[in-house]
């Protein structure tokens, strides 16, 4: 079973700290031990030689024994040559072993005698004897190595006392460091679980706080993951939308075919009735014809949703047209609906309005969708404003209702199936956008006081 990043970080960091502390401690105690030993031996030799200098002390075994008691070390004295040992505090056999080795020894260093390790140092002495003859020679001091053992042990204990809090601190730092790395990784893993268990369109991106607290590489990974989620969500929504449109299109095509033929027959018979002299000016006949035309436009919308016949793929039949005239024809069709809803329409159309090259039936359909939405959003007794303005190289048609406006969190209101109506399908604005886009124009909305203003612009140059 693999170890977590946190555990690996703690183990590696602690091993490094312990190894480094042991190495540095060993180097420190070894170096300090050597310095202490050398300094200790040199200072004692210097003290002894100074004590004997220019004094009439005899250099015999008794004096060497006295020095041993005084300095807690072994002493050997030679005369003229190092091999000519005249006094020693060591036993005779050990002194003989030293005599055999002294020729290869320097003035200081390590010597092994009778299986024991000694650190030694020397001093040249010039001391007087009992008579007037002066004696010149060399004084050797040998300190047993066990005297320095306790000092080394104290140093090792101090190193251990340093290692323990250092390891504890390293563990704490490793935990904090690993948390800063593993926390965003765990969030990424959790997000991946959410993606596998839920709809990707409902998965929220990582919070900015958790991203910015992680290392640069983790932040980059999290940002890339969020972008991937966003693209997956867009792709999922597009697929779902396409599936819904395909299903609805098949149903719409069937319904449109079933209704179009009887509707055409009804319209033909109503026109025959209108040709009758007594019914030619009957307002009821005119209302029936307007409603039949409106129903025909809705059937066109349904036909546009069928597979292979969507509005994006429809071939336009453009011709010069005046947007105000198209709007007036839509108002005639919706007159009954406006009257029933008790809503007044005020128009602001310029007298010098330029023509645009459009498919009149499709633009009329877009206008009707915007007007129907405005009527349904406005309360009874209110006023809807229609306006047409030339904007640079285009002509803008606007519908301002008296409703509550578009909610801030409404999202893309022009997406398919996006609706806030209890019984709405969410295709009206979607079809409007497809129509205006096919004409090379733009469509949008602005929240106004009160209500909302939906608009579209058609370039004067045409499609």
Side-chain-side CA neighbours of residue 230 (13 Å)? 8
Identity of the highest mean pLDDT range in 167-176, 209-218, 375-384: 375-384
Helix (H, G, I), strand (E, B) or coil at 256: helix
Say how far apart CA 163 and CA 108 lie, in whole Å: 35
| Surface-to-core class of residue 373, CB atoms within 10 Å of its CB (0-12 exposed, 13-18 middle, 19+ buried) | buried
Distance separating alpha carbons of residues 200 and 194, to the nearest angstrom: 8
Asked if residues 103 and 35 have their Cβ atoms less than 8 Å apart, the reply is no
Q: How many CB atoms lie under 10 A from the CB of residue 332?
A: 13
Tokens of 157: 């204990």
Largest CA distance in the chain: 173
- pLDDT tens by residue, 201-231: 555 555 545 555 556 766 677 677 777 777 8
Contacting residues for 336 by C-beta, under 8 A, at least 6 apart: 287, 290, 291
CATH number of 5-154: 3.30.450
The pLDDT of residue 93 is above 60 = yes
The mean per-residue pLDDT over the stretch 388-396 comes to: 90
> Does residue 42 contact residue 121 with C-beta atoms inside 8 Å?
yes
What count of other Cβ atoms lies within 10 Å of the Cβ of residue 265? 10
For residues 144 and 116, give the distance between their C-alpha atoms in angstroms, rounded to a whole number.
7
- pLDDT exceeds 80 at position 443: yes
**One-character DSSP codes across 194-253:** HHHHS-GGGPPPPPHHHHHTS-HHHHHHHHHHHHHHHHHHHHHHHHHHHHHHHHHHHHHH
Q: Identify the pLDDT of residue 176.
A: 76
Euclidean distance between CA atoms 443 and 439, whole angstroms: 11
Residue 404, Ramachandran bin (φ over 0: left; ψ between -120 and 50: alpha; else beta): alpha
Quickly state the pLDDT bin for 344 (edges 50, 70, 90).
very high
pLDDT category of residue 130 using cuts at 50, 70 and 90: very low
Domain positions in the chain are 5-154, 317-459
Quote the pLDDT of residue 210: 53
User: What tokens appear for 110 in the block?
Assistant: 């390590």
Banded model confidence at residue 24, pLDDT cuts 50, 70, 90: low
pLDDT(377) > 70: yes
As a whole number, the mean pLDDT across the chain is: 76
Percent of the chain with pLDDT over 90: 15
- Tell me the pLDDT tens digit for each residue of 399-409: 999 888 888 77
Least confident of 245-249, 291-295, 400-404, 432-436: 245-249
Between vectors from CA 402 to CA 397 and to CA 403, what angle results, nearest 5°?
A: 110
CA distances from 81 to 46, 77, 85, 99, 389 (A): 20, 10, 8, 11, 124
Q: Are 264 and 270 in contact (CB under 8 A)?
A: no
Given its phi and psi angles, is residue 426 left (phi above 0), alpha (psi -120 to 50 degrees) or beta? left
pLDDT digits (tens, 9 = 90+) for 283-341: 777 777 767 776 776 676 666 655 555 445 557 788 899 999 999 988 888 888 888 88
Question: What gap in Å lies between CA 67 and CA 50, rounded to an integer?
Answer: 12
Work out the average pLDDT over 422-433.
Answer: 73
Tell me what pLDDT residue 1 has.
46
Q: Do domains 5-154 and 317-459 have the same CATH topology?
A: no
Higher-confidence residue of 391 and 151: namely: 391
- Cα–Cα distance list, 1 to 6, 7, 221, 260 (Å): 15, 13, 25, 69
Listed ranges 135-144, 241-250, 417-426, 431-440; the one with the highest mean pLDDT: 431-440
Instruction: Kindly state the average pLDDT of the residues 234-240.
Output: 77
Task: Give the mean model confidence (pLDDT) for residues 169-178.
Answer: 75
**Whether residue 132 has pLDDT greater than 50:** no
Q: In whole angstroms, how far apart are CA 393 and each of 348, 396, 460?
A: 19, 10, 6
Residue 109: strand pairing partners: 120
What is the second-level CATH architecture of the domain 317-459? 2-Layer Sandwich (3.30)
Contact assessment for residue 140 and residue 105, using Cβ atoms and an 8 Å cutoff: no
Helix (H, G, I), strand (E, B) or coil at 276: coil
Q: Highest mean pLDDT range out of 45-59, 83-97, 123-137, 255-269?
A: 83-97
Q: What pLDDT is stored for residue 147 in this prediction?
A: 75
Helix (H, G, I), strand (E, B) or coil at 154: helix
């Amino acid at each position: 079973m693999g170890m977590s990043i946190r555990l690996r970080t703690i183990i590696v960091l602690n091993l490094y700290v312990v190894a480094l502390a042991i190495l540095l401690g060993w180097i420190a105690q070894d170096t300090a031990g050597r310095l202490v030993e050398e300094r200790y031996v040199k200072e004692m030799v210097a003290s002894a030689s100074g004590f004997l200098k220019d004094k009439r002390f005899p250099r015999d075994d008794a004096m060497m024994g006295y020095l041993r008691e005084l300095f807690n070390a072994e002493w050997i004295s030679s005369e003229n040559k190092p091999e000519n040992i005249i006094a020693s505090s060591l036993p005779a056999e050990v002194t003989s072993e030293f005599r055999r080795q002294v020729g290869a020894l320097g003035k200081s260093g390590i010597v092994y005698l009778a299986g024991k390790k000694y650190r030694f140092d020397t001093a040249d002495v010039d001391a007087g004897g009992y008579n007037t003859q002066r004696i010149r020679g060399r004084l050797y001091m040998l300190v047993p190595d066990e005297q320095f053992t306790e000092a080394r042990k104290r140093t090792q204990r101090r190193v251990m006392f340093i290692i323990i809090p250092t390891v504890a601190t390293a563990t704490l730092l490793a935990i904090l460091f690993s948390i800063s790395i593993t926390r965003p990784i765990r969030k990424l893993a959790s997000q991946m679980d959410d993606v596998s268990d839920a709809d990707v369109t409902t998965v929220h991106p990582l919070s900015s706080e958790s991203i910015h607290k992680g290392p640069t590489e983790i932040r980059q990974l999290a940002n890339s993951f969020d972008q991937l989620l966003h693209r997956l969500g867009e792709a999922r929504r597009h697929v779902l939308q396409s599936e819904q449109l395909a299903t609805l299109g098949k149903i719409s095509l069937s319904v449109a075919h079933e209704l179009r033929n009887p509707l055409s027959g009804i319209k033909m018979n109503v026109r025959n009735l209108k040709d009758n002299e007594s019914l030619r000016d009957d307002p009821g006949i005119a209302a029936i014809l307007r409603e039949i035309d409106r129903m025909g436009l809705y059937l066109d919308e349904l036909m546009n949703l069928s597979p292979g016949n969507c509005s994006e793929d429809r071939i336009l039949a453009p011709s010069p047209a005046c947007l105000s005239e198209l709007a007036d024809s839509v108002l005639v069709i919706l007159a009954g609906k406006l009257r029933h809803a008790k809503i007044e329409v005020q128009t602001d159309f310029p007298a010098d309005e330029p023509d645009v090259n459009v498919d009149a039936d499709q633009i009329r359909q877009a206008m009707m969708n915007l007007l129907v939405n405005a009527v349904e959003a406005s309360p009874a007794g209110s006023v809807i404003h229609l306006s047409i303005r030339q904007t640079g190289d285009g002509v803008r048609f606007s519908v301002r209702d008296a409703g509550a406006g578009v909610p801030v969190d409404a999202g893309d209101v022009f997406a398919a199936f996006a609706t806030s109506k209890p019984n709405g399908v969410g295709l009206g604005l979607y079809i409007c956008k497809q129509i205006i886009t096919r004409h090379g124009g733009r469509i949008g909305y602005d929240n106004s006081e009160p209500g909302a203003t939906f608009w579209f612009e058609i370039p004067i140059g045409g499609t």
